[in-house]
Amino acid sequence: MKTLADLREIKEKAKREMAAREQSAKYRIIVAMGTCGIAAGARNVMSAIIDEISKRNITDTVVTQTGCLGYCDQEPLVQVVQPDKTTITYGKITPEEARSIVAEHIAQDKVLSDRVFMQS
């Protein structure tokens, strides 16, 4: 990289690759990372999700973050957007439960019904 134009090209290439990956993803996991979520442990939850996806070599799932979802008493919140666009929102998730979401919901298509806060 020698010029600002080179840097811009790298940035644009990365954006294109990320957009392609998101479009081909079967699942999308969203972790609420507003201040209430972070205070409740959302960073550790997100780290556990990313680690478990990596350990299981899952390539059809995208992990993103969002701000506060407005349900502060249920933090940390994790949403799973399924292939049919149904969104399952899990509440009060620990890092261990986050790993179970990956192991069961993502890897086996099995919703963890005892942890579901909301479905839309």
Task: Note the pLDDT tens digit of each residue in 51-101.
Answer: 999 999 998 899 999 999 999 999 999 999 998 889 999 999 999 999 999
pTM for the model: 0.81
Is 26-119 CATH 3.40.50.300? no
61 touches 28 (CB < 8 A): yes
Banded pLDDT at 12 (limits 50, 70, 90):
confident
* CA 30-33-7 angle, 5° bins: 80
